[in-house]
Amino acid sequence: MNIVLLDSKTLGEDLDLTVLLQFGELANYATTQKEETAERIEDANIVITNKVVITREMMEEATSLKLICIAATGMNNVDLEAAKSLNITVKNVSGYSTTSVVQHTFTMALHLIGHLPYHNRVVKSGAWSQSKLFTDISHPFSEISGKKWGIIGLGEIGKSVALVAEAFGATINYYSTSGLNKINDYHHSNLDELLNESDILSIHCPLNEHTKNLINGSNLKLLKEGAVLLNLGRGGIINEVDLAEEMNKRELYVGLDVLEQEPIAPSNPLLSIIHQDRLLITPHIAWSSKEARATLLNGIVENIQNFIDK
């Protein structure tokens, strides 16, 4: 088998990719640009891609291609209808990052609720030493216990976040973006109610026609003063221009692991909001714990083995 891995750098340099050699020769590319893809896959039997887009035209030219392994859960970077018509199998890996995303959700929440940037800075700057007080409670933090935690998207990740939030003592409400997931152990609210009532609100849904700009200037104003808003779903669910404007108007705490454009554009208005301590942005890493990436690679290997066995 000729195996082509198009964007291994997105999987991390600490994974042992030699496990793929059991299936044949491996052409490993750290990154692949749009104009390079067709040439690189033209003689491949198996292609592995995380985010590199594979179009119908590319698949039509790759006459030996039999299997596309997506190194992710989302499959929007491959033309699935074209693959089916060309008898090319497409396999993804689901569920590999749930624990990682849940942990990062609470990493972000606790960072913001605990005002950790301020507390770290006041110690290292010497200001605490100069105060002569044994404590600094000028930026008091709150407990999750007793708070209302709202969840947008109660899938596997959303349910896991709910369980941990309950362990902290929070009350859970949720909103189903599809309108179909309304039979659960938790109270379903409409979106406006969820925004209005939540002390902490986390997003764990996909980006689609129902969720594009779901959170925007018309409903951001419903959030409580001092509320915490977390997006660990997809960029584009929150309108970033509207969010920056709202954050400059009043006290909101926001954690974003995903953005509409990744990497972030230097012109993104979130980079110049007034109170930067109220905003935490991480570079789309919630999925990527060492354990999650190892599980992802194992899932790719399993998909290839199952394909060969058939």
The question of whether 115 is a catalytic residue gets the answer: no
Q: How confident is the model at residue 308 (pLDDT cuts 50, 70, 90)?
A: very high
The 10 Å CB-count burial string (b at 16+, else e) for 126-135 is eebeeeeeee
Q: Among residues 39, 61, 143, 262, which one is catalytic?
A: 262
SS3 150: strand
Task: Reply yes or no on whether the pLDDT at 26 is more than 80.
Answer: yes
98-281 and 2-95+290-309 share a CATH fold: yes
pLDDT in tens, 77-90: 999 999 999 999 99
Q: Among residues 40, 115, 234, 278, which one is catalytic?
A: 234
Is there a contact between 2 and 64 (Cβ–Cβ < 8 Å)? yes
Residue 165 pLDDT: 98
Superfamily of domain 2-95+290-309: NAD(P)-binding Rossmann-like Domain (3.40.50.720)
The 8-class DSSP code of residue 298 comes to: H
Tell me the C-alpha distance between 67 and 80, whole Å. 12
Q: Give the global pTM.
A: 0.93
The question of whether 284 is a catalytic residue gets the answer: yes
Q: Which residue has the tokens 């959303």?
A: 158
Q: Among residues 115, 204, 284, 293, which one is catalytic?
A: 284
Task: Reply yes or no on whether the pLDDT at 62 is more than 90.
Answer: yes
Task: Reply yes or no on whether the pLDDT at 181 is more than 90.
Answer: no
Least confident segment among 49-53, 71-75, 195-199, 237-241: 71-75
Burial of 294 (0-12, 13-18, 19+ CB in 10 A): middle
Domain over 98-281 is classified CATH 3.40.50.720 = yes
The question of whether 156 is a catalytic residue gets the answer: no
Q: Where are the domains of the chain?
A: 2-95+290-309, 98-281
Tell me the C-alpha distance between 254 and 276, whole Å. 10
Element (H, E) at 246: helix 240-249
